[in-house]
Each structure stands twice: as structure tokens, then as C-alpha cells.
């Protein structure tokens, strides 16, 4: 995962190499003349302030990206916000001087980007929760992390981990932490990975929340979990090893 393309703001003329969310092969390139930048009203009014500086400017923007894969050519819509940044340059003629440039930060993509590839054999409800997390990643990292926690609950359901326990005739909902402790032996080596997702989900529910870097950590871990449980290649390798052990053992 190239984190930089998901964390850094971009210039209008130099966008990150986001991968097409439909074909997962082509790169998204800005569609000519589709970029629209509008300064916020409050920002425009602030120009009258005697201490005004260009860094006070804020924008909203929208644009379209097109997949470079000739067999796809999907159009992806993107909206977000913009700011003005200062840079100090130097030349022999001018000495040190200031330049200003616009930087843009995405909020939503439609269709959303795939922050990692979900194994195609992953059950639908788990995939849906992860895709919802992808939708929210740029706009609300904490909400994105909460969706991963939901996906984790669905995954435990798939592994037949019980949701309730009965004590003294009463039925109690088990906590996610306790459910993880009840994972079957065949996936017990994944407990630490499940717990890491759970802790990040807990943090996402607090006032401080989590940031994009935290969510990218969770995505890397979740991708490993899904590959271990649903990945075709890993299952084939395990079957191969089992066959060899049976024949030679």
C-alpha cells in the first residue's frame, strides 16, 4: 500500500496515481476542463481584512477522473476542499521571494477508491462493511474505522463464534473482545490481528477519534486477515502442503 497517495494533498496539475476502483488496473487521470474550484464565501469576504494573507483562502472543488485502462475508461467523480500554501524560492535576480500555490484534499470519490483488494470469496456482508469504510475514509476516518469493526463482527459470525451467552436464565450479548477470545483453533493465530482492529475501532468511538494513518494500519491488518481466511492462493498452498505431508509422512 502506497500510503502517500491517500494522505497527501495534491496540486491541480499533479494528482496522485490513484488506481481505478472498477478495473483495479488503470490509473485515474484528470479529465480535461473538468476541474472546478470555488472560493468559500467567508474566505472571499476575508480579503477585505487589513491583515489578510493568501493562506486564509479556502476552496471547495469538484473534478472528474478517467481510468487509463482502454478496456475500462470508467469516470470517477471527486469532491473536496482546497487551501493556499506559501513557498519560499530563491533566484540570483530576485534573491528570496514568496510564491503561493493551491493544494487540494479529497473528501469523497464516486465510485469510492479501493484502499485494498478484498478477496472475491469474502462473504457479502463483510465486503459491504469494508466498502462502506472505503467510502468514508477521506471524509471521516473514525467512521471508516467503525465500519471495519462491524466487518469484524460479521467475520466472527462467519466463523460461527457465538454472539450471546446465557446465565441464570438470561441472555447476554457478548462483547467483541470476548467473542475474539472464542475464535476456533483453526484461526487462533489471527487473534492478535482481530484485537488490533478492535482496539482501533474502540479508539474511533472516542472524542479524539483516529486519523487516516490509523485506518490505513487497520486496512493492512484486515487485508491480511481476509487473505488468510478466504485467499484462494493460501488455501491452495495449504492443501498442497497437506497432500505432501500425507504422502511422505
Q: Three-state DSSP class for 161?
A: coil
Locate 1 and state its grid cell.
500500500
- Asked if the model's pLDDT at residue 13 lies above 90, the reply is no
| 199-216 pLDDT tens trace | 988 888 887 889 999 999
What would the grid cell of residue 219 be?
486496512
Per-residue pLDDT at 244: 67
Q: What is the pLDDT of residue 202?
A: 86
Least confident of 55-59, 184-188, 224-228, 236-240: 236-240
CA distance 33 to 73: 17
Question: Higher-confidence residue: 243 or 15?
Answer: 15
**Would you list the domain boundaries of the chain?**
1-114, 118-249
Q: Are 49 and 76 spatial neighbours (Cβ–Cβ below 8 Å)?
A: no
pLDDT at 165 over 90: no
Per-residue pLDDT, averaged over 35-56, amounts to 96
Which of 70, 67, 65, 78 has its CA nearest to residue 27? Answer: 67
Give the whole-angstrom CA distance, residue 249 versus residue 247. 6
Q: What pLDDT, in 10s, does the model give residues 116-150?
A: 999 889 999 999 999 999 999 999 999 999 999 99
List CB contacts of 249: < 8 A, sequence separation 6 or more: none
Residue 150: closest CA among 174, 176, 172: 176
Residue 136: name the closest of 223, 194, 204 by CA: 204
Q: What is the pLDDT of residue 166?
A: 84
pTM of the model: 0.87
Amino acid at each position: 500500500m502506497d500510503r502517500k497517495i491517500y494522505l497527501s494533498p495534491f496540486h491541480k496539475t499533479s494528482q496522485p496515481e490513484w488506481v481505478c476502483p472498477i478495473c483495479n488496473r488503470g490509473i485515474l487521470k484528470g479529465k480535461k476542463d473538468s476541474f472546478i474550484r470555488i472560493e468559500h464565501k467567508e474566505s472571499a469576504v476575508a480579503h477585505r481584512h487589513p491583515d489578510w494573507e493568501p493562506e486564509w483562502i479556502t476552496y471547495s472543488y469538484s473534478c472528474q477522473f478517467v481510468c487509463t485502462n482502454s478496456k475500462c475508461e470508467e469516470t470517477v467523480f471527486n469532491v473536496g476542499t482546497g487551501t493556499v500554501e506559501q513557498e519560499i524560492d530563491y533566484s540570483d535576480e530576485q534573491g528570496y521571494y514568496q510564491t503561493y500555490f493551491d493544494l487540494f484534499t479529497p473528501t469523497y470519490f464516486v465510485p469510492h477508491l479501493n484502499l485494498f483488494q478484498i478477496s472475491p470469496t469474502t462473504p457479502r456482508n463483510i465486503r459491504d462493511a469494508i466498502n462502506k469504510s472505503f467510502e468514508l475514509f477521506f471524509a471521516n476516518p473514525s467512521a471508516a474505522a467503525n465500519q471495519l469493526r462491524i466487518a469484524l463482527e460479521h467475520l466472527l459470525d462467519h466463523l460461527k463464534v457465538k454472539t450471546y451467552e446465557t446465565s441464570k436464565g438470561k441472555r447476554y450479548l457478548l462483547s467483541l473482545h470476548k467473542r475474539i477470545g472464542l475464535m476456533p483453533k483453526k484461526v487462533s493465530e489471527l487473534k492478535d490481528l482481530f484485537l488490533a482492529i478492535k482496539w482501533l475501532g474502540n479508539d474511533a468511538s472516542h472524542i479524539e477519534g483516529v486519523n487516516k494513518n490509523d485506518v490505513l494500519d487497520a486496512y493492512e491488518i484486515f487485508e491480511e486477515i481476509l487473505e488468510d481466511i478466504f485467499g484462494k492462493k493460501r488455501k491452495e498452498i495449504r492443501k498442497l502442503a497437506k497432500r505432501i505431508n500425507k504422502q511422505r509422512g
